Structure 1
Amino acid sequence: MNKILLIILAILLPPVAVFVKKGVGQDLIINIILCVLFFVPGVIHSLWVITR
């Protein structure tokens, strides 16, 4: 998938972007927990997963 689309998806729906990039796993669980606690850390984590 195009990286620009993944970055836009990471800003709007962080867990979906992590799922598309990595699938079901540790990164997805961490991102869901971060999004539930507070949205901004979830966005930062998803951007980090996508760009690394």
Structure 2
Amino acid sequence: MGAISFVLLVLMTLICPPLGVFAVAGCGPDLLINICLTILGYLPGHLHAFYIEYVYYERRDQSVAGRIVSERAPGIYSERVQGTVYGTVPSDA
């Protein structure tokens, strides 16, 4: 199921980059930036969209492996893509 959703996401991004960003990051600053980049030129919109998707899947895979990435990915404003979760505080006990 994961490979099928990844292929569909890539196809959506190839057709319309903001759709791919919306599917991964939701409605927020990343989507607005991608819409502006797509209006300015089709290639910058694709580069930005694939960068967001790469970071999303890389952070997800690291989370599954038990590695927590503490630094933020540059140029990404969505907490969903960054891999941070609200309301969780690590305990030192």
Q: When you count helix as a share of all residues, which structure comes out higher?
A: 1
Identity across matched positions, percent: 35
Deviations 1:4-52 (A, max 9, x none): 2111111111001101111111110110000011010001111111111
- Alignment length, in residue pairs? 52
User: Aligned equivalents of 1:20 and 1:26: distance in 2?
Assistant: 14
User: Aligned equivalents of 1:11 and 1:32: distance in 2?
Assistant: 14
- Structure 1 consecutive aligned stretches of length 4 or more whose deviation exceeds 6 Å: none
Give the greater-gyration-radius structure (CA): 2
Residue 31 of structure 1 is matched in structure 2 by 34
Tell me how large the CA RMSD over aligned residues is.
Answer: 1.2
Which of 46, 49, 52 aligns to 2:52? It is 49
Which structure exhibits the higher relative contact order, with contacts defined as CA atoms closer than 8 Å and separated by 6 or more residues? Answer: 1
Q: Which runs of 5+ in 2 are unaligned?
A: 56-93
User: Aligned equivalents of 2:51 and 2:12: distance in 1?
Assistant: 13
